[in-house]
Structure formats: structure tokens, C-alpha cells
Amino acid sequence: MTERAPVLSVRGLSVRFLMPGGRRVAAVTDAHFDVAAGECLALIGESGCGKSVLASALLGLLPGNAQTAGRALLGELDLLAADERTLARTVRGRLIGLVPQSPAAHLTPVRTVRAQLEETVAELTAPRGGRKALRAAAEAAAERAAFPVDHLDHHPHELSGGLAQRAATALALVGDAPLLLADEPTTGLDRDLVDHTVDELRRHVDNTEGAGARPDTGRALLLITHDLAAAERIADRVALMYAGRIVELADATAFFGAPGPRHPYGRGLLDALPDRAFAPIPGLPPELGALPDGCAFAARCDRTTDACAAMPPLGGQVACHHPHAVLTKAADRA
């Protein structure tokens, strides 16, 4: 799948925040990745590592004190160079369907969920059949996101966090945006609903017509999450982020299974899971405003040597001077 033309191609994307007193916070540094049609790339890492800042940069939703560098090509359009009019009219909703991290801020407070869904359906799909077809399409979108139809006439403030998340997901699944960007789409959902939600996101990019084939929808999914189980469930590839940098790009099956992550941070994240070693990574990530010159994971890493005082490049898809070897047996994992 990865040899197909990318829907999204990110090259050297960096985001800095200029803080009072001239301090600079490097929230995202030199990110490179592609997402192809029919593919799900999971961008994973702990909260605060820069994942959502990267998403905001793609959507043109960074605050005024942000500075960006690099390119993010969606087709021919460089999202980082696009003006606000293009972003508002063409990108957000039409070219990028967004499942937001904060649905309460995304939903219009004074309108019912039904009204918002019907308006989005009318705007993005223009269904034939008048009012009845519009209503049916809105209810179908709600059902796909497991939003209960008997709550469609509620306003956002009448919804629990989980229901608001499902309403926002339903809105994102309307239309035919080539890129679906899901930023922590499972927040506030119980495990069954997490599975349902991510499966729907996956189906949105899959070719589900035909007998067993994966029809080409031309869509791609960028899943931003700290929920490793959700990423493992639906992702084709993984981009592991730490302290603002992507430190490993890997096939999801290899990352979550055997041979496992090659970067010590990825190993640590998986080993921290209760159904694995249940051994948390010691220490905390560094402040993005006070990053060391060398590897940002050094203070928490059990493989550190003097070489780690220099920043490791992302050569061979892993930014580490001493990555774990590509082994053939899970039992060989160090």
C-alpha cells in the first residue's frame, strides 16, 4: 500500500511557538511521513509530545504565536502555505474530515445534532430526494458513529462527553474528504465503543464494496492517539513521536508484534501496558522549551552511551544510535 501515491506528504514540518520574553518552544521538529490512499497511519506517543500540534498545523489552526517550516502536501496543495480562506472553504471539512480532540468546541452549541448533521450532509453530499433523504442520510451517519438516533434532537450541552465525541465523529464521516484526520477520537469512550469507532474510521478509508476486495476509496486516515490498542487494531503503519520528533516509522504488525519497536521509547511504551510487562518508563519527557542538544529520550533510556549526546537522525526509519535489532523471534527481544 505504501508504494501508492500519497494522499498526504509531510516533509520537514516544524512548529515553534514564540513565548513571552523571546523563549522558543519547539513543539514539532522536522517531521517527515506520507499517508497513502487506503492506508491508516497512526501517530502515537504520550500526551504533550506534539501530536495535536502537528494536526493543528495541517488544519491551519495554530495560534498566532506559532511559526511553521517545511511542507505538507495534500495533492498539489501545501497546507502550510494555504491562506485562511482556502483552509476554511476548501480544506477543513471538504479535503480533510476532522474527528476533533475536543468535540465540545467543534459542535455548534445552539443547534441540535440533527440540524448540524443535516446541514453537513446537504453541504458535502447534496443528496437527491429532498428533506426525507437528508433526514435519512443524517441518521445513517449517526448510526455509523454509534450515535443514538433518539438523541439527535439534543443540543451539544445535553450530551455526555462520549456522546459528543460520537456526534463529532458522525460529522467527520459525512462526505468524501480524501484525508480523515482523527485526533484522539476515542477520548471518553468505553472499550467497546473505542473498537466500534476506530473500526468505522477504518471502514471509511477501506474499499468495502465487492467480494473481499478493498475497493479504492482514495481516502487515507491519519489517526493521532495515545491509545495503543486502538492504533494496533486499525493501523497499517506507525509513526512514533517523542518530544516533538518522529523517532520511528514502522509497519504496525512488526511494531506491535514481532520483532517489536526498534526505538527504546517504543519498547518502553509497549512494556508499560498492563497486558504486557506493566513496567512504566521511568521519569518524564523533557519540557519542549528546554530540549537537550542530543537525544531527548536519553534521561529515560537504558541503552544510553556517550554517542547519545548527539541528535540521532531518522536513518533506517529509527532515530536512535543503538536501536533494538530486527530479530526474527519475539523471545529474542532484549
- Give 198 or 301: the residue with its C-beta nearer to ligand SF4: 301
Can residue 303 be called a binding residue for ligand SF4 (CB under 6 A)? Answer: yes
Can residue 156 be called a binding residue for ligand SF4 (CB under 6 A)? Answer: no
Q: What's the closest the beta carbon of residue 228 comes to ligand SF4, in angstroms? A: 18
Among 68, 86, 217, 304, binds ligand SF4 (CB under 6 A): 304
Q: What's the closest the beta carbon of residue 164 comes to ligand SF4, in angstroms? A: 38
Torsion of CA 245, 223, 326, 299, to 10 degrees: 30
Torsion of CA 24, 59, 225, 249, to 10 degrees: -80
Residue 130's region, left for phi above 0, alpha for psi from -120 to 50, else beta, is left
- Give 256 or 297: the residue with its C-beta nearer to ligand SF4: 297
Q: Where does this chain touch ligand SF4 (CB under 6 A) — which range of 46-54, 72-80, 102-110, 290-298?
A: 290-298
Q: What's the closest the beta carbon of residue 23 comes to ligand SF4, in angstroms? A: 25
Interatomic CA distance for residues 175 and 109, integer angstroms = 22
Q: Where does this chain touch ligand SF4 (CB under 6 A) — which range of 42-50, 188-196, 281-289, 320-328?
A: 320-328
Q: Kindly state the cell numbers that stand for 230.
A: 486502538
Among 33, 147, 255, 297, binds ligand SF4 (CB under 6 A): 297
| Cβ-based neighbours of 275, under 8 Å, separated by 6 or more | none
Contact between 170 and 142 under an 8 Å Cβ cutoff? The reply is yes
| Cβ-based neighbours of 214, under 8 Å, separated by 6 or more | 38, 206, 207, 208
Among 138, 152, 308, 314, binds ligand SF4 (CB under 6 A): 308
Q: What's the closest the beta carbon of residue 306 comes to ligand SF4, in angstroms? A: 10
Can residue 261 be called a binding residue for ligand SF4 (CB under 6 A)? Answer: no
In Å, how far are 99, 142, 295 from 179, measured between CA atoms? Answer: 11, 20, 32
Q: What's the closest the beta carbon of residue 317 comes to ligand SF4, in angstroms? A: 14
Can residue 298 be called a binding residue for ligand SF4 (CB under 6 A)? Answer: yes
Q: What's the closest the beta carbon of residue 203 comes to ligand SF4, in angstroms? A: 36
In Å, how far are 49, 68, 106, 172, 223 from 183, measured between CA atoms? Answer: 13, 20, 12, 11, 6
Q: What's the closest the beta carbon of residue 136 comes to ligand SF4, in angstroms? A: 53
Can residue 137 be called a binding residue for ligand SF4 (CB under 6 A)? Answer: no
Can residue 113 be called a binding residue for ligand SF4 (CB under 6 A)? Answer: no
Q: Where does this chain touch ligand SF4 (CB under 6 A) — which range of 65-73, 152-160, 181-189, 318-326?
A: 318-326
Among 11, 94, 322, 333, binds ligand SF4 (CB under 6 A): 322
Q: Kindly state the cell numbers that stand for 319.
A: 532515530
Cis amide leading into 259 (omega within 30)? yes
Can residue 324 be called a binding residue for ligand SF4 (CB under 6 A)? Answer: no
Among 80, 312, 314, 324, binds ligand SF4 (CB under 6 A): 312
In Å, how far are 129, 236, 262, 321 from 250, measured between CA atoms? Answer: 46, 9, 9, 17
Interatomic CA distance for residues 121 and 131, integer angstroms = 11
Catalog residues that contact ligand SF4 under the rule CB under 6 A.
264, 295, 297-298, 301, 303-304, 308, 312, 320-322
